[in-house]
Structure 1
Amino acid sequence: MDQWNLLSNLVNCFDENSGYAFVERFIDEQNRLPLKLRFKYSSVNHFFILMMSKVQRVFERNRDFLLLSPHDRTILLESTAEYTATIGGMFLLHQAKLLNDLTFFKSAEIIFPPSVMFFAQRVIDQFDSDDTFIKLVLTILAFSTINYTVYRKNIPINLTNITTILPIQDMYTDLTWRYLLYKYGHHEAVIRFSNLLRCLFSVSETIVEAHKTQQFIDIIDYVVEQTEQTLFD
């Protein structure tokens, strides 16, 4: 019962704070415009910045995250934001089917090189069909203590109390595995976890490729800055 309550609270937190309502409003506003004015570069660029920032609210309001020391929250935020904001953003795009709109896609290719969009589309194509599973995976990543994709200068890496974080990792990983077992059985659960690993490798490729553009670095820096202001103001 405790695990079902935790799962329910996590899903509700994601649905209320992930920014999907913001995405829907953006699409509605664009659809009200004449065809030739929809999804222009400036509006799509602003959309990406806000969308990737808003998805972090899920983790700002996670009860386990808020129990950590301010220092450890900062370390986790700065080391995982690239993953959580990138995957969370692609998940929202996937839910809204925005990349299926050619006009939006072309504007996105101006912001990010075609190679980045290619990798992003591949990640989206590999997303599991179970949205709850993806939300659980995002939560696990938010508490990840390993940062190995790219090297960024001037980011502290030492947690003050990793023994507090490891049980949280274990708890969400165990919850995810039990959820898959309950819903799909052992064989299907193994397949879905294997596919998840393949998807995460594609995410790493996307982030490495995106790091070649200053635009992506600026967005991640903005996401971290805005989240820190929310947490510590």
Structure 2
Amino acid sequence: MASTTSNDRQLTIQLPTINLLRSDNSSLNSAQWILIANLIHSYDESRLLAAARRLMNENNISQVEQIRDPTVVRDFLKQTYETTGKYLHANHDFLILPPDDRFVLLRHAAENVQCLSTIFIWNQSKLYTHRSFMKTCNYLYGEQLVNMVRHAMKFIDPDLVLVKLAASLFAFFNSLLIVRPNYTMNSSSISTIFRIQSSYAEVTWKYLVYRYGYYQAVLRFNNLIQCLMTATKITSKSLNAHIHTNDMESLVEQTEISLFLDDIEQINSDVV
């Protein structure tokens, strides 16, 4: 019972209060405060944290040398894919892109957000400190990929608001470098993506300055860049992990269908 209580305390996150009435003390304007609030609510980490609690409490991983059934770890990690899908479905800036351009960016955005979700939940839950969990992850995904995730955790910030902003920033990170044969993204979408990238980076920086001051903002923003650069290497390496690619294909397919049905519903409502 004591172990369960300790785990619950460990996984309890309280978002730092962002008082919109104090926004005049920062360089953020009202539209940027609203954007921050929307991005915070677009990424819901609650299911990830609940899944981590269940994994630790039901399998007693802190006291066993090896987890008997590797599927319980895989089922837990699948929550990172579900969280990613829900985020993409909730991000207004992603949804307003033309369907064809959105389709091109979908896999890239999903890979990035899922990767950052994995880094976040491993760090937040401290699952990486349990030998049985790490042995199972090595078995499922390969030791090299697991070590890369552990390395990325050195740069993840404890501020959950910043992690949520980073997930949104990373969703569009390097997205204009995507090349797809026989497809040219229209100039309007390119301009829109540039605007999204710029606005996300700007509010992230201004939030850091507002909350921590310039000196800490520089240090934390530098760590954020290091984290995203490391995560980029992880997403590239993960293409060789068959379990990951299968789960990612399933996520992308389900998200495509969901977004397509939403588009049809919107068209029908516009006609009416």
How far residue 228 of structure 1 moved from its aligned partner, in angstroms, is 1.5
State the shift of 1:142 in Å.
1.4
| Residue-by-residue CA offset, 1:173-204 (whole Å, 9 max, x unaligned) | 11111101111222222222222222223223
The residue type paired with residue 205 of structure 1 is K
Runs (5+) with no aligned partner, structure 2: 1-29, 262-272
- After TM superposition, the structure 1 stretch with the greater mean CA deviation from structure 2, 71-80 or 109-118, is 71-80
What letter corresponds to residue 171 of structure 2 in structure 1?
A
Which residue matches 1:46?
75
Shift of 1:147: 6.5
Equivalent in 179, 185, 204 of residue 213 of structure 2: 185
The aligned counterpart of 2:202 is 174
Q: 1:39 to 1:66 in 2, by over 3 A?
A: farther
Percent of aligned positions with the same letter in both sequences?
Answer: 28
Shift of 1:36: 8.2
Structure 1 residue 35: deviation in Å? 5.6
In the alignment, the residues of structure 1 paired with residue 75 and residue 173 of structure 2 have an alpha-carbon distance, to the nearest angstrom, of 28
Contact 1:136 1:172 in 2 (8 A): yes
1:203 to 223, 231, 235: 231
- Residue from 103, 127, 131 that aligns with 2:132: 103
Secondary structure at the aligned position of 2:247 is classed as helix
Instruction: Describe how 1:138-149 pairs up with structure 2 within 5 A.
Output: 138-146=167-175
- Are 2:94 and 1:68 aligned? no
* TM-aligned CA deviation for residue 117 of structure 1: 0.8
Q: Which moved more, 1:139-148 or 1:158-167?
A: 139-148
Tell me what 1:133 maps to.
Answer: 162
CA deviation vs aligned residue, 1:74-122 (integer Å, no higher than 9, x gap): 1221222221111112212222222222211111111011111111101
Largest Rg, 1 or 2? 2
Q: Distance in 1 between matches of 2:76 and 2:241?
A: 18
If asked which structure has higher relative contact order (CA below 8 Å, sep 6+), I would say 1
AA in 2 matched with 1:58: Y
Letter of the 2:41 counterpart: N
TM-score by length of 1: 0.83
- Over 3 Å counting, the alpha-carbon distance change for 1:16 and 1:137 in structure 2 is closer
**Does the 8 A contact of 2:66 with 2:133 survive in 1?**
no
Q: TM-score w.r.t. structure 2 length?
A: 0.73
Shift, 1:137, TM fit? 1.3
Higher alpha-carbon deviation: 116-125 or 37-46: 37-46
Q: How many residues align?
A: 229
How far has the Cα of 1:127 moved from its partner?
Answer: 0.7
Matched, 1:229 2:260: no
CA RMSD in angstroms, aligned pairs only: 2.8
**Quick one: which of 198, 222, 228 aligns to 1:194?**
222
